[in-house]
């Protein structure tokens, strides 16, 4: 049977300090994990708000132009929302439609006459 002796105050203090250090380390890990979990959505919201502001400023600036000024830069009032949101594509940048191949010979295929056809014609 093992006999136990009481701990000295120095040993007790050492154990308490080790426990405090472990607790502090675990708390720091938890805080870092929570910070990462919160930071990612906050960054997404911030990026969304920045983009929303940019869209609003672009929309406002283009809306302030008169129709002649818009025409000078190749736009119409109807194009403003697409330009502001970044989804506008100039018609000249659109891909051309695929060419439909033309038939070499548009006539119906010839059918060889039969003996019956010659009898009718005679």
CA angle 63, 68, 72 (to 5 degrees): 95
Residues of the chain with pLDDT > 70, as a percent, come to 77
Cα 56 to Cα 43: distance, rounded to the nearest angstrom = 20
Q: Pick from 95, 94, 96, 91: which is nearest to 79 by CA?
A: 91
3-class state of residue 103 by DSSP: coil
Q: What is the pLDDT of residues 53-99, one digit of tens each?
A: 999 999 999 999 999 999 999 999 999 999 999 999 887 776 665 65
Per-residue pLDDT band at 104 (split at 50, 70, 90): low
Residue 53 has φ and ψ, to the nearest 5°, of: -65, -45
């Amino acid at each position: 049977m093992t006999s136990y002796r009481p701990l000295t105050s120095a040993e007790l203090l050492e154990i308490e300090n080790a426990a405090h250090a472990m607790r502090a380390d675990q708390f720091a890990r938890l805080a870092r994990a929570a910070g990462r979990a919160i930071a990612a959505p906050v960054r997404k919201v911030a990026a969304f708000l920045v983009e929303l502001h940019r869209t609003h400023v672009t929309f406002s600036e283009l809306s302030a132009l008169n129709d002649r000024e818009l025409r000078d830069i190749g736009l119409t009032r109807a194009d403003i929302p697409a330009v502001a949101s970044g989804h506008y594509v100039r018609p000249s940048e659109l891909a051309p439609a695929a060419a439909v191949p033309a038939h070499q010979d548009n006539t119906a295929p010839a059918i060889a006459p039969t003996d019956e056809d010659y009898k009718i014609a005679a």
